[in-house]
Structure 1
């Protein structure tokens, strides 16, 4: 080993990274298997309650739900993988040997930090390419109670817009701006808060300052009579962004699409603080994997001297759990507008980075 190098020897670094990654992904696989099985216990009945649904739909649900579970519990798996790796190395006196060779605590942890950074990059790509699409698709499927739904991951579904006293409900929207196309339009015609009539149409398209609805039919509440209207103009003054941006789901959009939606909302003068916090969290969330080796490092050092292996492992897990609690709390405060978006996404990460460094330096450096 070269004392001047930040890393242990090449062989030791690969050995530690391999131990860490095998345990991390092994724990993740076990967690996903158990949690997915528990989730199916509550959802299988709802899926099979729909006429025509069978085993294929159950497996389809598993395929859509599993990426969400993986994304949620990957940082926790990194924490447990770190603790198990360091405990094993400490029990085998490998940590003592590394320290005796002149390596500092940071140098001992360096292979785990680099490996966890690689996990963070994989996590970000996985969230962008798979989790966001699966979440958007699953949300649309659940809105129709697992019934038949043409899956178009770029669509929005079940959007409500207010036009004066009237309410407009659209089953599905494709496209953006003047090219937006409405499918399954229902207009609740109200006067003074009382429902007067219900107008339904199959397709709606932008026409100057309003919307042209095809195959419209009007149901009069007072008489109970339905009248065909053909093609009509409705919702004059209702902008396309009121439909396309009415339900922006941050979890169902990748980073670039969410940023574009935030820009559109800002241009239309609508609040974006909660979405900005979610946008920053798409970066800070995956990077939380890099924190876990630092927070779990308390399990690596001092065990042989103190004989309190279990206590130190519990302390490492407590620090990791505290981070997850603080992260969720900060996001909730950001959604309420109590925290600025950047602070809501990054404050827990920076705080626990300092806490982990302080604990490591005070105890081992």
Structure 2
């Protein structure tokens, strides 16, 4: 069995390497390089910067193409074994198709681990660095500010709601057209309105506004030019955090989701992206099943294998798009929206292999 395992892995490695190279070139060209070329006419990117961006985005592309390469590599390897009647010889010796596939599935699990590690420790910081470089080239400034319109957040405490904060515009450490409602024991006590607010240290400084104090006697309104008020750190974190889910690793994204939850924000989409960080690498063994099942039929060459690979990938990403849309709208739990394409594809792959094994 060890001899067979080594032979199957040696058979798989050349087409897997070819598939990884071809698909990585396609992904990097289509999703990175073409976009840079279009933007270069406007921002006059240098050739060195464009090459640096492509290099920094390469780990992200590899995170996607490793499972795809597993599909195409398995498809071509099994097709070659089938064309040379080696599959028939092994089946004639009493070996089931499942026994033949175990070495390939074990290799696909290694690819899953590699893709997870690549996306977690390399791709996320590299993608963030690439975005910073592009922003610097476009704005002559390496700082990437986060801008939000109609920002609405709430602060919760042990006794319940503490504050409701609204700003017409929020950018970096500044708020414009601010309204804050402060509560004590679930009762509205203070309303603050200000033209602008700016973060200084652990406090916010409000400019040109008024404060309405509510009590059981008579409300009191006070106008101010400046007013200093401590606000929770969660608000500062929200305004300063400019990275997207693909630019954060799992730990950073989980911490950001926790911050948003504490501020009353809708985190369904981010929770779904967190689950997808696990689900996408797990497509490698699923694609291995698909590739083996489809590879048992004769292929006319690597070109046909690439075409079948792209078709199967399109089917999978159609399932993923449907799951993502349903999860974002709340019609599916975030975990199910992320994992449903993997579960459905796994059942299809297992069914295909079982059918091939019986015929």
Query: 1:141–1:147: 8 Å Cα contact kept in structure 2?
Result: no
Query: Aligned equivalents of 2:138 and 2:24: distance in 1?
Result: 22
Distance 1:233 1:19, change over 3 A: farther
Aligned match of 1:269? 264
Query: 2:272–2:334: 8 Å Cα contact kept in structure 1?
Result: yes
Query: 2:12–2:74: 8 Å Cα contact kept in structure 1?
Result: yes
Aligned match of 2:333? 340
Q: Secondary structure at the match of 2:331?
A: coil
1:225-244 matches, within 5 Å, as: 236=229, 239-244=232-237
Residue 158 in structure 1 maps to residue 154 in structure 2: no
RMSD value, Cα = 3.4
Aligned match of 1:323? 316
Q: TM-score with structure 1 length normalisation? A: 0.73
Query: Aligned equivalents of 2:79 and 2:65: distance in 1?
Result: 21
Query: Aligned equivalents of 1:129 and 1:48: distance in 2?
Result: 33
Query: Aligned equivalents of 1:147 and 1:269: distance in 2?
Result: 33
Aligned match of 2:111? 119
Aligned match of 1:169? 171
Deviations 1:133-164 (A, max 9, x none): 1222333444556444447xxxx632434664
Query: 1:296–1:320: 8 Å Cα contact kept in structure 2?
Result: no
Unaligned runs of 5+ in 2: 153-164, 180-193, 209-224
1:50-65 matches, within 5 Å, as: 50=43, 54-65=46-57
Q: Secondary structure at the match of 1:271?
A: coil
Query: Aligned equivalents of 2:103 and 2:295: distance in 1?
Result: 14
More moved, 138-147 vs 21-30 = 138-147
Query: Aligned equivalents of 1:318 and 1:345: distance in 2?
Result: 21
Query: Aligned equivalents of 2:135 and 2:196: distance in 1?
Result: 22
1:198-237 matches, within 5 Å, as: 204-207=200-203, 211-212=204-205, 236=229
Residue 32 in structure 1 maps to residue 34 in structure 2: no
Give, in angstroms, the shift of residue 114 of structure 1. 0.4
Aligned length, in residue pairs: 308
Deviations 1:241-294 (A, max 9, x none): 234235562211111111122222223332222111111111111010011111
Query: Aligned equivalents of 2:48 and 2:321: distance in 1?
Result: 35
Which residue of the other structure, out of 253, 257, 273, is the alignment partner of 2:252? 257
Distance 1:165 1:328, change over 3 A: closer
Residue 291 in structure 1 maps to residue 283 in structure 2: no
